[in-house]
Amino acid sequence: MSDRKPIETWLTDMDGVLIHEGVPIPGADAFIKRLRESGKPFLVLTNNSIYTQRDLHARLSRMGLDVPAEHIWTSALATAKFLADQRPNGTAYVIGEAGLTTALHDVGYVLTDTDPDFVILGETRTYSFEAMTKAVRLINDGARFIATNPDETGPSAEGALPATGAVAALITKATGVEPYFVGKPNPLMMRAGLNAIGAHSENSAMIGDRMDTDIVSGMEAGMSTFLVLTGLTQSTDVERFPYRPTRVVDSIAAVVYVLCGWT
């Protein structure tokens, strides 16, 4: 890392890095505390589009992690920003929850099922056959297809749940139209987050637990990357990929030492 500028901005994934199944990972509280004390810009990222920033702030607070709402960046916010840039004040038919609909309203979008500019698919726990049928018909009629993220499954205490990517595949099969995915591993989500806090990739770092989403998107966005081994990717998996993280550490606790200037 000696050929890179000192890290002044930190982006970190949430699940698998800071929390696991609703429980903070050891060192996560110290990491957030140290970041806030340092005054360095930072964002906590999630591909989950269900919750608003305030929702996630409250959920993390109950776990003992004090992350201000403005330091949370979701695939819903990235999707809304992308659409506001591409087609300002547009219209959309949305399958999703408050995190997505609120973000779209905030950028001036009108939600409608009558001749929308876009069909936007996000995360929800109540996917309905009627809503998916409506989405298929609107896409067949010319609506552009956007999805917040490509994750095919999501975690729960009972086991894996079908997620946005799986439902997107169903709609694609029915229409022959592939969606544009805004969330990780699309580096657009990282770049939009950096822009939102006025940061630059050359002195920023991304912390994640997955090589195929967090690390590749951080790398493609031009950031340093830290792989933590508290989530899906394990140390034995790293060599299977044609790219490498800047650094592999056991957990977020080890990154605290980097923040403190220790190695």
Q: Kindly report whether the peptide bond that precedes residue 150 is cis, defined as omega within 30 degrees of 0.
A: no
Q: Which residues contact 149 (CB under 8 A, 6 or more apart)?
A: 47, 48, 49, 75, 123, 163, 164, 165, 181, 182, 183, 184
**The length of the chain, given as a count of residues:** 263
Choice among 3, 13, 141, 209 that is catalytic = 13
Q: Which residues contact 166 (CB under 8 A, 6 or more apart)?
A: 152, 153
- The verdict on whether 141 is a catalytic residue reads no
What is the sign, positive or negative, of the torsion defined by CA atoms of 240, 246, 248, 252? negative
Beta strand extents in 68-143 (DSSP E only) = 72-74, 91-95, 110-111, 118-121
Choice among 15, 117, 151, 209 that is catalytic = 15
- The verdict on whether 15 is a catalytic residue reads yes
The catalytic site residues sit at 13, 15
